Every structure is written in C-alpha cells, then in structure tokens.
Amino acid sequence: MKSLRSNRWRRRLLGGVLIALALFALIQAVPYGRSHSNPAVTLEPKWDSPQTRAFAVRACFDCHSNQTKWRWYSNVAPASWLVQSDVDGGRHALNFSEWDQRQEAELGEIAESIRGGSMPPWFYVLLHSNAKLSKAEKERFIKGLEATFANSPPRGGGG
C-alpha cells in the first residue's frame, strides 16, 4: 500500500515538472522582451564631474540610458519581460542619452528616489551589487546631479 501511494506521488510530481517545463518552453515563444535595442546617443548632459557620470553609469544607465547592457537573462522569459518593461519605463521617465528631449522625471523626484532607496531598485542591486551606493555616495551623486541639472538642463524641458 505504501509503495502504491509513493508511486502515485512520484507520477504526479513528474507530471507537474513536465507541465512546468512545457510552459517554460512555450513562454519563450512570446516575442516581447527580446527586441533589445540601444538607440544612438543623441546628447548626454554636461556632467559636473566624471564622478557623477560614473555613479550614473554604475547605478542608472542600464535602465536610464541608451547604453543598456543586455545580460543573458534578458533573453529568457519571463525575466526578459520584466527587464524590457523596466528599461522601457526607465528610458521614458529619464534618459541620460537623450538629453535633447523632455525628461519626465524631475530632479526632486530623482533625488528622493536615490535617497529613499527606491532607485536603483532592490532587485536590480541584488543582481548587480556594484550598483549599490553607500549613503555617502548617494549624497555625492545627488549633489552632482543637482549641479549637472543646473548647468545642463534637459533641452526639451522637464527635470
């Protein structure tokens, strides 16, 4: 009796694993999330210092520029869907590569997001530990962004 239950349990587990694998394979056919493009950089801000730009590259550029580094997992659904959505949303709100266009995010929002820890997001920092900024680095970055925005506001307004 015990082995009969054990066999049923194993068959159900195997069936579940096979169904999960089939679904995983099937979702790879969804085209969204793999059209990785990095449009040309039209204009970058005139950074107040190389350090401010380095902070931006380290913590922001993957989602807030046209210089995204598309890592291997950005080709595998469902992660590819999340990455594409984050990059699309990030570029729409603030794009350091299109400084000649209107920027939706304003400097105060950007500073608060950095200071409050919502930017870069925890899940991004989990996969990219170099993006984590210390409290002192955050403050230097914010001061640098304030100077950059003051000396080089986005051409299309905003910010």
Question: What's the token pair of residue 83?
Answer: 């990455």
Q: Which pLDDT does position 4 carry in this prediction?
A: 64
Query: Which residues, other chains included, contact 70 with Cβ-Cβ below 8 Å and sequence gap of 6+?
Result: 36, 83
Ranges of each domain in the chain: 50-151
Say what the pLDDT of residue 95 is: 98
Question: Looking at residue 6, what is its pLDDT?
Answer: 76
Instruction: Name the amino acid, one letter, at 95.
Output: N
pLDDT beneath 50: ranges in the chain? none
Q: What is the pLDDT of residue 60?
A: 98
* CA gyration radius, the chain: 21
Strands (DSSP E) contained in the chain are none
- pLDDT for position 158: 60
Cis omega before residue 50 (within 30°)? no
pLDDT of residue 59: 98
* Distance from C-alpha of 44 to C-alpha of 95, rounded to nearest angstrom: 9
Cα–Cα distance measured from residue 82 to residue 99, given in angstroms and rounded to the nearest whole number: 25
Task: Identify the pLDDT of residue 35.
Answer: 76
Closest CA to 130 of 32, 59, 28: 59
